[in-house]
Amino acid sequence: MGGKKDDNERRSSRGVTRRGFFTAVGAGAVGAAAIGRAQAPGEAAIATAGEPAKVALRINGRAYRLLVEPRWTLLFVLRERLGLSGAKAGCERGECGTCTVLIDGVPRYACTTLAVEAEGHEITTLEGLMNGDKLGPVQQAFLEEDALQCGYCTPGQIMAAEGLLRANPRPTLDEIRTGMSGNLCRCGAYTHIFKAVQKASELKKAGGR
């Protein structure tokens, strides 16, 4: 017995003993469990953050009051909650521009804009460019210049053009190319799209818009 005790003492002087090792591991496990319990309230807070929030959105000159989840995009709310399907769902990651709308007159991707972010701002969708049943100047120009093929990207192209012409009513061809560069047309109808933007500039000027 005395020999074993001496061996344990010698091992203790050189490093961690078997008993000390398991004691330390056990203490660490208890500490980790305690930390896990301390984080639980934070996890609960994250879960409750998904609860619907009341927002007031002004879209095409009309006020809407509705409940939205914080994670909902403006695109989702426009299409699935309000039935405004002019903005299309394309890549849904801010690359194609199909979902373009105007926020305070500036083109924005609705798929990367949260609905709660849009509160307090003026939102304009494709539907808002209509004058009753009459097409707006940009819409009319796209029709006249045959600036579409499959047509899926066309609503976003029109909204990007509208935003460009509000900021710069008489853009050059290079300015049009730059201003429309955030919107992709997989059919490759760019030449007609650029002509449509030039035509829309003329129609807006003639109509005092």
Q: How far apart are CA 108 and CA 73, in angstroms?
A: 12
Q: How does pLDDT run across 98-109, given as a tens digit for each residue?
A: 999 999 999 999
Q: Token match 């796209």: residue?
A: 142
Q: What is the pLDDT of residue 35?
A: 33
pTM over 0.85? The answer is no
The region of weakest confidence among 47-51, 77-81, 125-129 is: 47-51
Confidence of residue 24 (pLDDT cuts 50, 70, 90): very low
Kindly give, in sequence order, each residue whose CB lies less than 8 Å from that of residue 42, ignoring residues fewer than 6 positions away: none
Q: Answer whether residue 45 shows pLDDT above 80.
A: no
Q: How far apart are CA 75 and CA 86, in angstroms?
A: 10
Domain 53-125: which CATH class? alpha beta
Confidence of residue 21 (pLDDT cuts 50, 70, 90): very low
- Residue ranges of the chain that CATH labels 3.10.20.30: 53-125
Q: Answer whether residue 92 shows pLDDT above 50.
A: yes
Q: What is the pLDDT of residue 49?
A: 59
130-206: CATH, from 1.10.3720.10, 1.10.150.120, 3.50.50.60, 1.20.210.10: 1.10.150.120
Q: How does pLDDT run across 115-174, given as a tens digit for each residue?
A: 999 999 999 999 999 999 999 999 999 999 999 999 999 999 999 999 999 999 999 999
- Taking residues 27-43, report their average pLDDT: 37
Q: What is the pLDDT of residue 51?
A: 86
* Degrees, nearest 5: CA angle 77-82-86: 85
Confidence of residue 34 (pLDDT cuts 50, 70, 90): very low
Q: Which class for 122: exposed (0-12), middle (13-18), buried (19 or more C-beta within 10 A)?
A: middle
What letter represents residue 17's amino acid?
T
Order of strands across the sheet that contains 100-103: 62-68, 53-59, 122-124, 100-103, 106-109
Q: What is the pLDDT of residue 190?
A: 97
- Residue ranges of the chain that CATH labels 1.10.150.120: 130-206
Q: How far apart are CA 124 and CA 133, in angstroms?
A: 17
